[in-house]
Structure 1
Amino acid sequence: MQKFDLPRRLAAEALGTALLVATVVGSGIMAESLTKDVALALLGNTLPTGAILVVLITILGPISGAHFNPAVTLIFALKRDLMPRDAMLYTAVQIAGGIVGTLTAHAMFALPLLDMSMKARTGSAQWLAEGVAAFGLVATVLAGLRFERPSVPWLVGLYITAAYWFTSSTSFANPAVAIARSMTNTFSGIRPADLPGFIVAELCGAIAALMLMSWLLRPEGKAAPMSKEAQL
């Protein structure tokens, strides 16, 4: 497998996160403009998000690993698959890329480029939902890499599509995306004041998934060789 240098990996992370957020925010704006049915609007927001994840992970994964998510980057840093300096740079460009994605979505729909959200998303139920969403995402990534690496783009896309609907928070599961979504006062927004609870929950969920999956995915050690007496 080809290895790419750090500048190219950072560019892939920034580009991927920007396109992901542009899809999340843009599809939310489009859905809200086309229907007043909240369930239908959520569906219109969900399907493009799951679809773009399949595309982005497929085309950018071979370059950077296609994290697009500081929580995922943290997990790979804790696994020592990513150097701490690289992990910090990944996180910085993910956040910057996400903000660019929001600005781009606003520009495409002729909205003010920066419009801080007033949409309240807070409370223990939503924090739990974010923890569960991030837990499931990281578990999906780690198990997918272990057993079915070529299917990871589809596994992640399908998981996020499902998590939009079974979590009360609609599954942000990504601190960079949460920050970017705080800058849009549209369907997908979140108040800046609500970010800390979401981000802490996402990171806790991701770390919990790493702890469980590190145990769950560890195969049983090889059996000790039988003695000659036992073989008789």
Structure 2
Amino acid sequence: MPYATGLALQEQLFNEALPRKRELEPARHALISLTHTPVITMGKHADPHNILFSKDVLTERGVELHHTSRGGDVTYHGPGQLTVYPIIDLEDLGIGVKKYVWSLEEAVMKLLAEYGFRNTTRIEGASGVWVPGERSYDKVCAVGIYCSKYITMHGLALNVDLDTSIYNLINPCGFTDKGVTTMERLLSSSLPPMEDIEKRLIELLAQEWGISRIELATF
């Protein structure tokens, strides 16, 4: 799905949630799960120097460029990556923003552990899920969110089996001393189907938030 289309879906759900909250109506938690066509996104604090090639080169490679309201720096979305955008009311769930980010990371760490890889970690000051790499640490899942009135947008991007050479176009998340990896590389057993990974990750997220009902939009 093109990034602009996915963003429009998020904004629609976000804009529906805000008036419900003002009118004190029951919260409706939603989640969009999809795979984007190739795109580099720049968070609101992104440094343009972390995009290492011109827009013309990106276009030649079939990669779009979008500015976005999420936190963080520069990252990539594309085929072989599972992107999850929760549109949820943190106040209704009784959790703060820091704990919410922690819950996104925790669900991914539990998912990888269930599939046999338990050597995941967090890095202070760098959101996402990391694993020990050749130079330093490699990121297997990026996390970047936006939150207003305790309603969330954006979310996580889990590298399942994407071609990581595309990251040579950028300094991922602004880092020059850290790399990226995929579930396919980390798992000693065969990689489960994307649909199975998606289903289980959504279940684990719902468990982290303590909710039994969530509206799903998967693509």
Q: Normalising to structure 1: TM-score of the pair?
A: 0.29
User: Which is greater in Rg?
Assistant: 1
**Structure with the higher helix share, 1 or 2:** 1
**Structure with the higher strand share, 1 or 2:** 2
Q: Normalising to structure 2: TM-score of the pair?
A: 0.30
